[in-house]
């Protein structure tokens, strides 16, 4: 029996579902029950009936799924798959900002460790950040950890005052204007679609800015036939699957999140065989972080 068949068989035996982010390797996306962006996956995680969730993504994703589903077993195929940006904010700084501004909302990008969510007022993803920040009654917004997404949201929500943090995604932040110019020269008829984790000079060059699902939906529904993709390489799988008649070029060969690529088929199989690595979140952290995540689900679904 091949590895995919073994995974599917074991999945049934364990009453498990497989959730996968668009950045994991193609063959893992292929065997997943649900594939999506961070917002979709956190929403889906709350409605799952199976006992076990195998989360093919990085740790903040599995951690959020566990916080939202404390009674389920959440398994990470690779326990070291982590998002560097998730650690790029500090609780001490949050406390200082709260002392400085009495009317501040701490808005926490879901790409963050649970400890940061505990000290925040609401979570957001790149798919709902503008909508949620607009819906908050607060004038002052401390947006953590991503400075690039924060600047993008600030450019769209003009009537609020933003306090910026200095976190960033090492992959998206590293994309340069020169790389984009080179790709645009090479593919002059292509539209440039980009993730808001890129720096503002890159966003200015885009035809569309959005989350991974936003990029996929835009490319699938618009008239254009050729695209330069300014996010992680893994989205190409869904883009090409949905649009066999369209052409997609990755903006740069450096757009690879090596942590997402740690989630291989072999590790998915082993995780189901051994029921590890199980995500654990202590009650205190869970109760604190649950509030920010649930508020996101509530405001994001309105
Ligand atoms: P999305 O929420 O757009 O899927 O992005 C997640 C992510 O990690 C981007 O780098
Ligand atoms: Fe984190 Fe960047 Fe990887 Fe997304 S692409 S998981 S933000 S390191």
Sorted by where each starts, the structural domains of the chain and their CATH numbers stand as 3-82+260-281 (3.40.50.10800), 85-169+285-300 (3.40.50.10800), 175-250 (3.40.50.10800)
Instruction: For residue 169, report the distance from its CA to the centre of ligand 1, in Å.
Output: 10
pLDDT tens per residue across span 217-271 = 999 999 999 999 999 999 999 999 999 999 999 999 999 999 999 999 999 999 9
Q: Please work out whether the CB of residue 255 comes within 6 Å of at least one atom of ligand 2.
A: no
pLDDT under 70 in the chain at which residues? none
Per-residue pLDDT, 273? 97
Atom 1 of ligand 1: nearest residue by CA position: 37
Instruction: For residue 172, report the distance from its CA to the centre of ligand 2, in Å.
Output: 8
Instruction: For residue 145, report the distance from its CA to the centre of ligand 1, in Å.
Output: 13
Q: Please work out whether the CB of residue 128 comes within 6 Å of at least one atom of ligand 1.
A: no
Q: Please work out whether the CB of residue 84 comes within 6 Å of at least one atom of ligand 2.
A: yes
pTM score over 0.85: yes
**Quick check: 221 and 235 in contact, CB under 8 A?**
no
Atom 6 of ligand 2: nearest residue by CA position: 83
Q: How far apart are CA 56 and CA 45, in angstroms?
A: 12
Ligand 1 atom closest to Cα of residue 210: 3
Q: Please work out whether the CB of residue 212 comes within 6 Å of at least one atom of ligand 1.
A: yes
Residue 29: name the closest of 282, 240, 295 by CA: 240
Q: Please work out whether the CB of residue 252 comes within 6 Å of at least one atom of ligand 1.
A: no
Ligand 2 atom closest to Cα of residue 58: 6
Per-residue pLDDT, 7? 98
pLDDT tens per residue across span 33-42 = 999 999 899 8
Name the closest ligand to CA 110: 1
Work out the widest C-alpha separation in the chain, in whole angstroms.
Answer: 62
Dihedral (C-alpha) 72, 74, 75, 76: value to the nearest 10 degrees?
Answer: 180
SS (H, E, C) 106-128: EEEECCCCHHHHHCCCEEECCCC
Q: Please work out whether the CB of residue 125 comes within 6 Å of at least one atom of ligand 1.
A: yes
Q: Please work out whether the CB of residue 38 comes within 6 Å of at least one atom of ligand 1.
A: yes
How big is the chain by its Cα radius of gyration, in Å? 19
Q: Please work out whether the CB of residue 52 comes within 6 Å of at least one atom of ligand 1.
A: no
Pairing relationship of beta strands 191-194 and 161-164 according to DSSP bridges: unpaired
Atom 5 of ligand 2: nearest residue by CA position: 257
Q: How far apart are CA 228 and CA 225, in angstroms?
A: 11
Atom 6 of ligand 1: nearest residue by CA position: 38
């Amino acid at each position: 029996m091949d590895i995919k068949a073994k995974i599917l068989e074991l999945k049934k035996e364990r009453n498990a579902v497989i959730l996968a982010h668009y950045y994991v390797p193609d063959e893992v996306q292929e065997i997943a029950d649900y594939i999506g962006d961070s917002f979709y996956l956190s929403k889906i995680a709350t409605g799952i009936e199976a006992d076990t969730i195998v989360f093919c993504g990085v740790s903040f994703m599995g951690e959020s799924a566990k916080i939202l589903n404390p009674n389920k077993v959440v398994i990470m195929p690779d326990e070291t798959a982590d998002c560097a940006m998730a650690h790029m904010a500090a609780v001490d700084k949050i406390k200082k900002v709260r002392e400085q501004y009495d009317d501040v909302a701490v808005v926490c990008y879901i790409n963050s460790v649970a400890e940061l969510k505990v000290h925040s007022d609401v979570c957001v993803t790149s798919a709902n950040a503008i909508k949620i920040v607009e819906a908050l009654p607060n004038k002052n917004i401390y947006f953590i950890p991503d400075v690039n997404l924060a600047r993008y949201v600030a450019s769209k929500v003009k009537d609020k005052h933003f306090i910026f943090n200095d976190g960033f995604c090492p992959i998206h932040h590293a994309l340069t204007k020169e790389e984009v110019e080179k790709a645009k020269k090479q593919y002059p008829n292509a539209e440039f679609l980009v993730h808001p984790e890129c720096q503002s000079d890159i966003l200015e060059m885009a035809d569309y800015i959005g989350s991974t699902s936003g990029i996929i939906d835009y490319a699938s529904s618009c008239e254009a036939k050729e695209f330069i993709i300014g996010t992680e390489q893994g989205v190409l799988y869904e883009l090409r699957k949905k649009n066999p008649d369209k052409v997609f070029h990755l903006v740069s060969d450096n757009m690879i999140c090596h942590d997402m690529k740690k989630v291989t088929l072999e590790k998915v199989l082993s995780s189901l065989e051994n029921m590890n690595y199980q995500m654990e979140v202590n009650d205190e952290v869970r109760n604190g972080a649950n509030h920010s995540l649930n508020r996101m689900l509530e405001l994001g679904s309105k």
